[in-house]
Amino acid sequence: MVVTDTNVFIDLMSVDALEAFFALGFEVHTTGFVTNELNKEQSALLLPHIGGGRLHLDRFTDAEIQEIEVMTTRNLLHFTDRSVIRLAEKLTAMVLSGDGRLWKECQARRLEVHGSIWVIEQLWVKRLVQPLSCIQCLEDLKRINSRLPKDKIDALIERIRKG
């Protein structure tokens, strides 16, 4: 079970890996606050996955929203990121995020956390995507998301090339 934040969805959409991501077999959860950060085209790409056990759009009660609003974190986090943490704790789920501050908070709370590079690696490990396609996804990620660690991307590309 995973809780996904906005930037992982955007990364996967940008490298045309969203369908493969859902083929990994995770029970994927996110919040309405996450999907509200997507533009219309991005939201439309998620719609076919909602329901059927592939993508759960979790909602919070008014009391839970109040808890998220006053949630204390070690780093300054936006409300949407705090909603991801709240949902991951509620579900005892792994977090998928590319936000450094959210990563630090997850680690401090002992929540397992991974990012877009890890997702692409899982596509390769589980042989859901051909090695050359994985390499192309990683090269594209390097170009479109300058915040990702290029050394980790390059190391994974090298591992994939070696087989």
Residue 163: its pLDDT value, please?
Answer: 86
Instruction: State pLDDT tens for residues 66-93.
Output: 999 999 999 899 999 999 999 999 999 9
pLDDT of residue 75: 87
**Average model confidence (pLDDT) for the chain?**
96
Q: Return the structure tokens found at 15.
A: 């490298």
- Domains of the chain are 2-116 (3.40.50.1010)
E strand map for 11-61: 28-31, 55-58
Query: Which residues lie closer than 8 Å to 125 by C-beta, 6 or more apart?
Result: none
CA distance 88 to 74: 17
pLDDT the model gives residue 53: 73
Output the CA angle 2-6-3, nearest 5 degrees: 10
